[in-house]
Amino acid sequence: MALAAIAFIGGCAVRAEAEDLKIRSPIIEAGEVEFENNFVFGRGKTTVHELEYGLTSWFKPGIELELAADPGQGLHYDATALEGFFQLTPQGKYWADLGIFAEYEQTGRTGDPRSLKIGPMIQKEVQLPGLSMLSTANVFLTKDMGAGSVGTPGLFVAAQSRLRLDPHFEPGVEYYGIVSLGEHGEEPQHRLGPAIAGRIGFREFGIDAPGGIKYDAAYLRRISGAADPSTFRFRFELEFPL
């Protein structure tokens, strides 16, 4: 469902930035701290470390630190970002769960532009015979700002659909792309591949505490464009009530 809609939008997709290869959910847990670590490996590599807190049932701020490395080089500081998640609908009340995501990023490289990203997060769970399928879609407007800004605005799109077989293991598929909104956009590009996700509670490790560890991973193949032929991403997140 989500993948079909996003693949249509991605018909003129351009370069998908490695640090953005993750799926964002509109659901917020009030009072919960989340420490997230996202690793992306292609020709180069990117690591993103993020701290988020569910301030209310509808607002979650976050701060993000990005490290990156070109092929054959070591990791270096790349950027810092401030984020905000806004949950617009109560979970499960309407046809789909809806939220808004906004991010301001300040690069660490001299002369590079700042950037802004904003757009909806949509999530829908569908009941199937004997199991359910969870689909999530992100559609974000992206715009560089400042003296170093070049190129046209874009529309970053990401989608994931997965079968909820077991809380510890949910297999699925992911798609990423960027739609050019100007006349001189980059070469179209698509990425698609299998994914898995799950959650393990701290008590399952013998730790008598609420919270747990979430994980998700995907192996993405280039469908078109100048992206890396293959990319592997892995994310794990520690979550606990404060």
**Cα–Cα distance, 51 to 33 (Å, whole number):** 7
Which of the residue ranges 59-63, 75-79, 97-101, 134-138 would you say has the lowest mean pLDDT? 75-79
Q: Which amino acid is at 5?
A: A
**How far out from the chain centre does Cα 16 lie?**
11
Confidence at residue 218, expressed as pLDDT on a 0 to 100 scale: 98
Confidence at residue 43, expressed as pLDDT on a 0 to 100 scale: 87
Given the structure tokens 């991010």, which residue do they identify?
A: 103
Confidence band of 9 (pLDDT split at 50, 70, 90) = very low
Domain boundaries in the chain?
Answer: 2-237
Contact 137, 155 (CB under 8 A): no
Confidence band of 153 (pLDDT split at 50, 70, 90) = confident
Given the structure tokens 């490695």, which residue do they identify?
A: 18
Confidence at residue 209, expressed as pLDDT on a 0 to 100 scale: 95
Q: Is the pTM of this model over 0.85?
A: yes
Examine the pLDDT at 2 and tell me if it is beyond 70.
Answer: no
pLDDT in tens, 210-234: 999 999 999 999 998 777 889 999 9
- Residue 227 DSSP class: S
State the average pLDDT over residues 159-177. Answer: 97
**Cα–Cα distance, 18 to 66 (Å, whole number):** 11
Please give the residue that has the higher pLDDT: either 190 or 179.
190
Q: What is the DSSP string of 34-93?
A: EEEEEEEESSSEEEEEEEEE--SSSEEEEEEEEEEE-TT---EEEEEEEEEEEE-S-TTT
- Residue 206 DSSP class: T
**Cα–Cα distance, 110 to 204 (Å, whole number):** 46
Q: What is the DSSP string of 108-148?
A: SSTTPPEEEEEEEEEEEEEEETTEEEEEEEEEEEEEEESTT
Q: Of all residues in the chain, what percent carry a pLDDT higher than 70?
A: 88
Which of the residue ranges 116-120, 139-143, 183-187, 212-216 would you say has the lowest mean pLDDT? 183-187
Q: Which amino acid is at 220?
A: L
Confidence band of 146 (pLDDT split at 50, 70, 90) = confident
Please give the residue that has the higher pLDDT: either 191 or 182.
191
Confidence band of 12 (pLDDT split at 50, 70, 90) = very low
Cα–Cα separations (whole angstroms), residue 202 to 121, 170, 238: 28, 19, 10
Confidence band of 115 (pLDDT split at 50, 70, 90) = very high
Q: Which amino acid is at 241?
A: P
Q: Which CATH architecture has domain 2-237?
A: Beta Barrel (2.40)
**Cα–Cα distance, 194 to 174 (Å, whole number):** 6
Examine the pLDDT at 125 and tell me if it is beyond 60.
Answer: yes
